[in-house]
Structure 1
């Protein structure tokens, strides 16, 4: 019971009280202030803790008595999935998924296919195979843009260029995909470049210069 003698009083001497609902709202607003939640775990930490709790529960189930072989296998698979999800959350996607989102032309300004080819040949003559591969792939893509087989679009990746060009040049679709993969692995991965990788892209570039795009079929199959 409140001590009515300790409550503040109005001018007439009656005690001043606060209604229940406004008091509850005032307390809630006070507790929502950031100062009270400064040390709360982040969303990532809470999800990670939840995953680790599920892993511990699964391991306890495996270690418990009476677990059949089938049940143990299922639980083991669940544990493996949870561990994989936890690692993905903490470490992020694999490196290749990140690096293939990079622009095939990098940060260089507008250049022609002939300029890229000249740089590629210069790097190849010096035995600088990684640089030669990068410049040769850029020459290949720029040449397709100059022929309007690709629209000139900034931010395009090597994989995207290969997929789009492959629709216009289906006979070279597989070779374009292989070229993009070679470019990605050397430019953004850990593959060592060599003469063979450069020659692969150079030969494809020359073949594409002679290639003619496939004509779209007319509606209804008419010629």
Structure 2
């Protein structure tokens, strides 16, 4: 029976007051009612598509937690499994996207302890390097470089000096090593304030610079006066 035919049958039964015949099936009744129920007046207060999708999502989340809470040997185990999976997902995303870059802190003083000799800083750097503690090794080797220049009177001892300031001042008397001094100070800042881990290669570059500077001759400028008559 079609929808139009089903509607006609219902109208005729209502008009005559007769009891509905038992020959009308459930599918015929549904087909007769569908055109009426499809009218907009019956759907004015229904939630929108977004709200229905959101409700569906929350129902799925509730089902997930209900399932987890009823897992054997207890609900706690299921919840712990979910938490572990979420943590593993976060770790995987962090590894895939790379570590978050830290905001470098303002440069602080190069020496954070009392006065120590260049030899002491070198010995400490070598101990850290032997243990593959490259960050500490880089820091101590940079301090050895600056302390050595102070001991040779190529830098005036000055508390609170930063690695960048020491490199810039030393470059004026050792211009042939200016680029390497600047690079060494940048490496020190990166591993000390920027949170970047040091490497063996970085330490070896500072060690080679330290050895080269021990034999470096400073640039001496001599003022020439004009000839007298």
> For residues 193 and 175 of structure 1, what CA distance do their matches in structure 2 show?
17
8 A Cα contact 1:99 1:184, kept in partner: no
Deviation of 1:216 after TM superposition, in Å, equals: 1.0
Aligned match of 2:193: 188
8 A Cα contact 1:134 1:183, kept in partner: yes
- For 1:25-80, what per-residue CA distance to the aligned partner results, in whole angstroms no more than 9, with x for missing partners? xxxxxxxxxxxxxxxxxxxxxxxxxxxxxxxxxxxxxxxxxxxxxxxxxxxxxxxx
Aligned match of 2:205: 200
Aligned match of 1:99: 106
Structure 1 residue runs of 5 or longer lacking an equivalent are 1-93
Query: Whose Rg is larger?
Result: 2
Deviation of 1:99 after TM superposition, in Å, equals: 2.3
Q: How does 1:31-42 map to 2 (within 5 A)?
A: none
8 A Cα contact 1:129 1:193, kept in partner: yes
> For residues 220 and 226 of structure 2, what CA distance do their matches in structure 1 show?
12
> For residues 215 and 106 of structure 2, what CA distance do their matches in structure 1 show?
31
Q: How does 1:1-223 map to 2 (within 5 A)?
A: 95-96=103-104, 98-100=105-107, 102-106=108-112, 108-219=113-224
Task: Show structure 1 runs of 4+ deviating over 6 A.
Answer: none
Q: TM (normalized to structure 1)?
A: 0.54
> For residues 221 and 204 of structure 1, what CA distance do their matches in structure 2 show?
39
Deviation of 1:190 after TM superposition, in Å, equals: 2.1
> For residues 120 and 196 of structure 1, what CA distance do their matches in structure 2 show?
14
> For residues 163 and 206 of structure 2, what CA distance do their matches in structure 1 show?
12
Deviation of 1:218 after TM superposition, in Å, equals: 1.8
> For residues 197 and 221 of structure 1, what CA distance do their matches in structure 2 show?
48
Q: TM (normalized to structure 2)?
A: 0.53
- Supply the RMSD in Å over aligned alpha carbons: 1.8
Deviation of 1:171 after TM superposition, in Å, equals: 0.2
Q: 1:221–1:186: structure 2 CA closer, same or farther, 3 Å change rule?
A: farther
> For residues 99 and 138 of structure 1, what CA distance do their matches in structure 2 show?
18
SS in 2 for 1:99: coil
> For residues 151 and 99 of structure 1, what CA distance do their matches in structure 2 show?
23
Deviation of 1:219 after TM superposition, in Å, equals: 3.6
- For 1:75-97, what per-residue CA distance to the aligned partner results, in whole angstroms no more than 9, with x for missing partners? xxxxxxxxxxxxxxxxxxx944x
